[in-house]
Amino acid sequence: MRSFQILATLAAIAWLFACGKQRTHETSGSTAQQQTSQQVSDPKLERGKAVYDETGCATCHAIAGIGGRTGPSLDGIGKKYDAEKLREVLLNPKTLNPNTVMPPFEGSEEDLDALVAYLLSLR
């Protein structure tokens, strides 16, 4: 009788272990999937994010809490401005504030386009 109890306990432990493992596996599986879908979402957004990083916008601006505090956080900037207004701000930041420390964007038209698309995606 006692050996049956031990067996039952072992079986229960093994079952719990298997479940736990499966759950961990499912979670990491779906995270990997999300990351992949983000990565392949849109090459233009990827380029825009790269331009943002390369241009050093993050020295002054934070997105999702990461970056500097000289300028305002850019969380939700895609809801605040449309593409036209963003281009204007990037090419001539003085339209926001004549004494701004923000430098005008000097990259190519293509990079500006990608950068604006990236900023519009921040909602």
In the complex with ligand HEC, the residue whose CB is nearer, 34 or 70, is 70
Q: Which of 45, 50, 62, 102 binds ligand HEC (CB under 6 A)?
A: 102
Is residue 78 involved in binding ligand HEC (CB under 6 A)? no
Q: Is the CB of residue 48 less than 8 Å from the CB of residue 110? A: no
DSSP 8-class letter at 62: E
Sign of CA dihedral 106, 121, 57, 61: positive
Phi, psi of 63 (to 5 degrees): -125, 125
Q: Is the CB of residue 40 less than 8 Å from the CB of residue 34? A: no
Q: Which of 27, 31, 41, 59 binds ligand HEC (CB under 6 A)?
A: 59
Q: Which of 63, 89, 114, 117 binds ligand HEC (CB under 6 A)?
A: 89
Is residue 37 involved in binding ligand HEC (CB under 6 A)? no
From the CB of 104, what's the least distance to ligand HEC, in Å? Answer: 9
Q: Is the CB of residue 102 less than 8 Å from the CB of residue 92? A: no
Tokens 């090419």 found at:
91
Binding site for ligand HEC (CB under 6 A): 52, 55-57, 59-61, 70-72, 74, 77, 80, 86, 89-90, 96-97, 100-103, 105, 115, 119
